Homo-oligomer: A and B are copies of this chain.
Amino acid sequence: VYEILARTVYGKRKRTEVGVDRLVNEGAYTAAYPLHEGPFKLQSHEIHPDELNQRQVLHYYWARWCKWFKYQPLDHIREYFGEKIALYFAWLFYTAWLLPAAIVGTLVFVSGVMSMDTNTPEDICSSGAKYPMCPLCKTCDAWNMSDICTMAKLGYLFDHPGTVFFSVFMSFWAVTFLEFWKRKMATLAHHWDCMDFHEEEQERPRPEFAATAPTVEENPVTGVKEPYFPEKTRLSRMFTGSMVIVLMLCVVIIFLVTVVMCRGVISVMMYQSGSPVLRTEAGTIANICSSIVNLGFILVMGQVYTALAEQLTKWMHRTQTQHDNAFTLKVFIFQFVNFYSSPFYVAFFKGFVGYPTNYGTLFGMRNEDCGPGGCLIELAEQLFIIMVGKQLINNIQEFIISKVKAWRQKRTLASVLGDDEQDEPRPWEEDYKLVPCGGLFEEYLEMLQFGFITIFVAAFPLAPLFALLNNWVEIRLDAHKFVCEYRRPVAERAQNIGVWFNILEALSHLSVIANAFLIAFTSDFLPRLLYQYKFSNDLNGYVNFTLAYAPLNYTDYPYKAFRDNDGMYTLFYWELLAVRLGFIIAFEHVVFFVLRAIDWIVPDVPESLELKIKRERYLAKQALAENQEALL
């Protein structure tokens, strides 16, 4: 049901690609799109369901907030929008898998809250002025250990044995989820009959590719002459692309350093303000402020880079699928660093401060130390702000932008039609008012949250809950967009979610490693355990044990480290390091081994489907044989 039929235009140049896409590309037409099947609003509420058009069915039964508890009608979506979009909504079924993760995460968090009072080492809160501590910056004063009682308690929320359990749980969750998603994809692909869909043979070259490819060559598969990109140009372009990524990553690092400096400046300002409240909470406030700044940078950089990547990927890839995969990978790598560099920094690199008389410095500022509650709580704060903030802003943005675009589109149409307007607008005029569908890339990119709920789950057990809430909103928001606000996109076939799956798999593996390191190095779990094992079963004296005294004649205040008076590491430090590394080795080997076993035991295609496929193949072969016999 194309509005504009493709006229075959044989150009004088050696371009062989023809069709409406090219005409739109060259400006002969302003747009070409399939029509929606009429209005999405019900004309009256007494219509029999069978008389509704597809769009009305989708809107009524699916694309409304009041249907939030309903499953996705994937077959209807596929029929109306094509397989690619239906697969996206099938992927959102991951929401259902988030439910157990969210429940367990919340339970872990609640159990942390419940046991907070009984489990915080008493020495901190009741120590009074017993432990005056080393000043945190050059111009600061010494402070009392008991000042940070609240922070220590809060720290316990994110740093108790339940967290360790939860991060193991989430590693398994992620892999099991991916395993079942594979099966789901296979089932859907078979159900929709695109299991044997081979992109390269059946997809046409993209019009952008056809328009810019410098030479024409015979396609080795079909034998038809086609636009072609010589290998050499390809290499040089790939090189340029990589350089741009590296450059942009450098920019990200620069921004990261800026944020770190900013945090330092804010906390120094707080200290010097003199207010006692501001002073004790200086770290937290600085952290929150800088996280917000960071979020701003992340969003802006993301926009800039996506636009850049679009330019970089535009020409080189023959089919839409190839193009999408290359674009996705490119943007993902960037966005990954963009989003996760700051949490990674806090989790693994913050806290290498050295010791009194020998502080490490960066641009003349003393290296940051984590706040008194430990690095994990800072990480949690930051994750909360980046993840939830991003989700909120994104959803709002999507909502507003689509409204604005629709309004602009309407105005353009009005100016084109002039006073020529009829009483009842023709359907293509009606649809022209809508926003062109921008593809699914942005939608999938929101699944960066998969990283937040797996990689840093040890720091932020509530992440799955927030992801669940976000996805719940996201589904209906996207449904509404596709049904009501977008022009109907040209249906595209697909048998899976492409390179996204590989990305998710890489993320889930990375998450196991990150969690191991997080528990071993960032969390206080192992030092406490070792202390209990070696010295006393309760944690009495633990706080005192973690304190080191500065070199003689420098200051009498202790600081947090396992060092002796010369600043050298103590035996306990090395023991602890061995335990930490041993923990990482044990954790990774066990988890990866079990994951391998799961991967091996659970077949990628459900058994019943496998049988069905075999049966079909068998019947097809039989039919062919009979047919040939009949011909003979």
Contacts and interface: CB of A to CB of B under 8 A. Distances in A.
Interface of A: 198, 200-201, 220-223, 513, 571, 574-575, 577-578, 581-582, 584-585, 588-589, 611, 614-615, 617-618
**Which one of A222, A585, A615 has the greatest number of beta carbons of chain B within 10 Å?**
A585
Contact of A221 (B222, B513, B581, B614): B614
Contacts of A588: 588
A574 B578 contact: yes
Contacts of A575: 574
A518 to B, nearest CB: 14
A589 B512 CA distance: 12
A91 to B, nearest CB: 22
A113 to B, nearest CB: 34
Contacts of A617: 198, 201
Nearest to A600: B502
A12 to B, nearest CB: 30
15 contacts: A198-B614, A198-B617, A200-B614, A221-B611, A221-B614, A221-B615, A223-B615, A571-B571, A571-B574, A574-B574, A578-B578, A578-B581, A581-B581, A581-B582, A584-B585
A435 to B, nearest CB: 37
Contacts of A513: 589
Copies of this chain in the oligomer: 2
A198 B616 CA distance: 13
Contacts of A220: 611, 614-615
A627 B388 CA distance: 59
A413 to B, nearest CB: 42
A220 B222 CA distance: 37
A589 B513 CA distance: 9
A613 to B, nearest CB: 9
Nearest to A616: B221
A563 to B, nearest CB: 13
A614 B584 CA distance: 45
**Which one of A198, A222, A578, A617 has the greatest number of beta carbons of chain B within 10 Å?**
A578
Contacts of A574: 571, 574-575, 577-578
A222 to B, nearest CB: 6
A575 B581 CA distance: 12
Contacts of A222: 618
Contacts of A577: 574, 578
Given A581-B585, A585-B585, 4 more contacts: A221-B618, A574-B575, A584-B585, A588-B588
**Which one of A220, A574, A577 has the greatest number of beta carbons of chain B within 10 Å?**
A574
Nearest to A573: B574
A333 to B, nearest CB: 14
A587 to B, nearest CB: 11
A319 to B, nearest CB: 13
A506 to B, nearest CB: 9
A251 to B, nearest CB: 25
A574 B200 CA distance: 57
A588 B512 CA distance: 14
A201 B618 contact: yes
**Which one of A571, A588, A589 has the greatest number of beta carbons of chain B within 10 Å?**
A571
A203 to B, nearest CB: 12
A212 to B, nearest CB: 23
Nearest to A517: B585
9 shortest interchain CB distances as A-B pairs? A581-B581, A574-B574, A577-B578, A221-B614, A578-B578, A220-B611, A221-B615, A571-B571, A574-B575
